Amino acid sequence: MTWEETVDKKRKALLALIPDQWRIRSDQLPAESERSVISFAEESNLLTAEELTITKLTVQELAGKIASGEYTATQVCQAYCHRAAIAHQLVNCLFEICFDAALEQANKLDEYFQKHGQTVGLLHGVPVSLKDQFRVKGLESSIGYVSGLGTVDEDESIVTECLRKAGAIIYVKTSVPQSLMIGETVNNIIGRTLNPYNRLLSCGGSSGGEGALVGFHGSPLGIGTDVGGSIRIPSAFNNLWSLKPSNERLPMGKLKKTVDGNESIPSICGPMAHSVGDLAYFMQAFLQQEPWKYDPKLIDIPWRETRYLEGKTGKKVFGVMAVDGIFGFDGIVMPHPPILRGIQQVIISLQKAGHTVVEWQPYKHKYATDLITAILFADGGAAIRRSIESSGEPAIPDIKQFLELKQPSIDLETLWKLQSEKYTYQKEYLNFWQQQSHIDGWILPVAPHTAVRHGDYKYYAYTSVINLLDWPAMTIPVTFADKEIDVKDMQYKSINDLDAKVYEGYDADIYDGAPVGIQLVGRRLQEEYLVGLAEQIGQALLN
């Protein structure tokens, strides 16, 4: 069977899993020229009034209404399965569908509730979508490679197991880019995943399917992974809150990866949702399952409510990245006008709320960018190349460009040297923060742009440096690009070739209406305090 035949079989099988009554008629589909489909579910009358109400609730609200008996798990599951099916037909975001198994699980949860009068956990009956990396028994985990199709998982990832113990319902797995290593989501299996806010723009990556689905309210809570920005990028692009914890806080056991054992820069999993409260609720619910009992790499740290309350109360000091007096600039690639305006909006809101804002000078970010690239691609792309070539599929453009560079692999001694350099940098940056220890958390862009035009993601350092440091980070929705306000500076003089290419890519008309988010960084393993800080920023933005 050729790779094209394998893909055709997969696409047909995926479509067949969407019930006929949930398929959108051709005359109901929005025209390709219609950029935004974010309100399609509300305007199309395809969902019932009850389904619309359910799918706009927060995770906490869903869990509360199920626990009170106002909704059954089956009602909630049905609503989200229906909305996810619509989302896929509009933005192409699903790799795996298990609606029948999900409804069966929901029915069992309802039976338990009727019999015992209580829930099995804090996520009882709450549908949760998973990035394709997470194994679910009976489903595939291709991670964007055609060679990954046809193999069904017989075991589940530790995250999947813990979610089920908390009462969550797994109903879909979402799309990722070929190799997982780019900030967009495109592959040869289902093609490109689009942004529901503007289909001319990227949904982000590599947890892009999660970003698009949760952004469309086709899921109340998504779980992604992040090795260079893969949770934060799609969250910012789709107007979502997210948390990338420190390593050793949430389990990565039994996930599908291009190659196991590469832990120099560990991939980390975390939640993506519509409110900061839902991130706190998820962490509390998940950590109640004591995942450190199942993953030996985790530290035994339960949810610390006291630290969370400390973060969300009292006046704080926030650092904001700045170079040459320009807030939001890392000194390498200048952010587009909507991003700079979003940073300023956060600064003004925090100051009005009585918080202190100071400049945060980035420490050797160019060096850090080069270092993390060398570590992540220490094998010269050999594992990616093997995974692609084994099926005969072509490399997607971004990966093709990388493989054509023919970057040589490095020997073990060189890798050890890079790991030593990483530790030295981490220590230096920690000392840098200690010299400004009054700063509670620091703010910077997620990317130099909002949701980027397809195929135009060029610069990752705003997120990847944080992975190198292994500090927790969050995304916070701020505003939306406005072509009338966010005018391109035609007099801007770039400081390097990459900066020029990124800035030239800004078009106020195309980016109009795209979500603008920022990134908040905290100290290692202080996720509770960081979530509390983020809640303060969110409250300041509302006032």
The yes-or-no answer to whether 3-293 and 305-542 have a common fold is yes
pLDDT (0 to 100) of residue 262:
84
Model confidence band, residue 263 (pLDDT cutoffs 50, 70, 90): confident
* 184 CB-side CA count, 13 A: 25
Mean pLDDT of 411-437: 97
Q: Is the pLDDT of residue 261 over 90?
A: no
**Token match 């089956």: residue?**
74
Reference 219, options 11, 96, 59; nearest CA is 59
pLDDT single digits (tens) 129-170: 999 999 999 999 999 999 999 999 999 999 999 999 999 999
User: How far is the C-alpha of 329 from the C-alpha of 320, rounded, in Å?
Assistant: 9
Token digits for 258? 């291009």
Q: Under the phi-then-psi rule, with left for phi > 0, alpha for psi from -120 to 50, and beta for the rest, what region is 373?
A: alpha
Mean pLDDT of 120-125: 98
- By annotation, the residues acting in catalysis are 131, 206, 230
Mean pLDDT of 443-455: 98
Mind spelling out the 3-state secondary structure of 311-338? Answer: HHCCCCEEEEEEECCEECCCCCCCCCHH
Distance of CA 17 to the CA centre of its chain: 25
How many angstroms separate the first and last alpha carbons of the chain? 59
* 186 CB-side CA count, 13 A: 20
Model confidence band, residue 333 (pLDDT cutoffs 50, 70, 90): very high
Contact 172, 187 (CB under 8 A): no
Contacts with 534 (C-beta within 8 Å, 6 or more apart), sequence order: 241, 276, 279, 474, 476, 520
Reference 72, options 81, 82, 62; nearest CA is 62
Q: What is the CA radius of gyration of the chain?
A: 22
The residues with which 348 forms a beta bridge, in sequence order, are none
pLDDT (0 to 100) of residue 363:
98
**Spans of all domains in the chain:** 3-293, 305-542
**Token match 């962490």: residue?**
283
Does a cis peptide bond (omega within 30 degrees of 0) precede residue 147? no
* CATH number of this structure's domain 3-293, picked from the four choices 2.60.120.260, 3.90.1300.10, 3.10.310.40, 2.40.33.10: 3.90.1300.10
Token digits for 48? 């019932």
Mean pLDDT of 1-20: 98
Q: Is the pLDDT of residue 259 over 90?
A: no
User: How far is the C-alpha of 52 from the C-alpha of 43, rounded, in Å?
Assistant: 11
Q: Which residues of 57-68 are buried (b: 16+ CB within 10 A; e: fewer)?
A: bbbbbbbebbbe
Mean pLDDT of 99-111: 98
Tell me how crowded residue 380 is: count the other CB atoms within 10 A of its CB: 16
The residues with which 515 forms a beta bridge, in sequence order, are 480
Token digits for 155? 């075991």
Residue numbers belonging to the annotated binding site for substrate: 180, 206, 227-230
Counting beta carbons within 10 angstroms of the beta carbon of residue 265, is it exposed (0 to 12), middle (13 to 18) or buried (19 or more)? Answer: buried
pLDDT single digits (tens) 173-214: 999 999 999 999 999 999 999 999 999 999 999 999 999 999
User: How far is the C-alpha of 291 from the C-alpha of 463, rounded, in Å?
Assistant: 26
Average pLDDT score over the chain:
97
Tell me how crowded residue 107 is: count the other CB atoms within 10 A of its CB: 14
Q: Is the pLDDT of residue 260 over 90?
A: no
Model confidence band, residue 406 (pLDDT cutoffs 50, 70, 90): confident
pLDDT (0 to 100) of residue 309:
98
pLDDT (0 to 100) of residue 153:
98
Q: What is the DSSP pairing of strand 169-174 with strand 127-131? A: parallel
User: How far is the C-alpha of 503 from the C-alpha of 491, rounded, in Å?
Assistant: 11
The residues with which 327 forms a beta bridge, in sequence order, are 322
- The dihedral over CA atoms of 426, 273, 239, 365, expressed in degrees to the nearest 10, equals 0
pLDDT (0 to 100) of residue 19:
98
User: How far is the C-alpha of 471 from the C-alpha of 107, rounded, in Å?
Assistant: 40
Tell me how crowded residue 292 is: count the other CB atoms within 10 A of its CB: 17
Topology given in CATH for the domain delimited by 305-542: Amidase signature (AS) enzymes (3.90.1300)
pLDDT single digits (tens) 23-76: 999 999 999 999 999 999 999 999 999 999 999 999 999 999 999 999 999 999
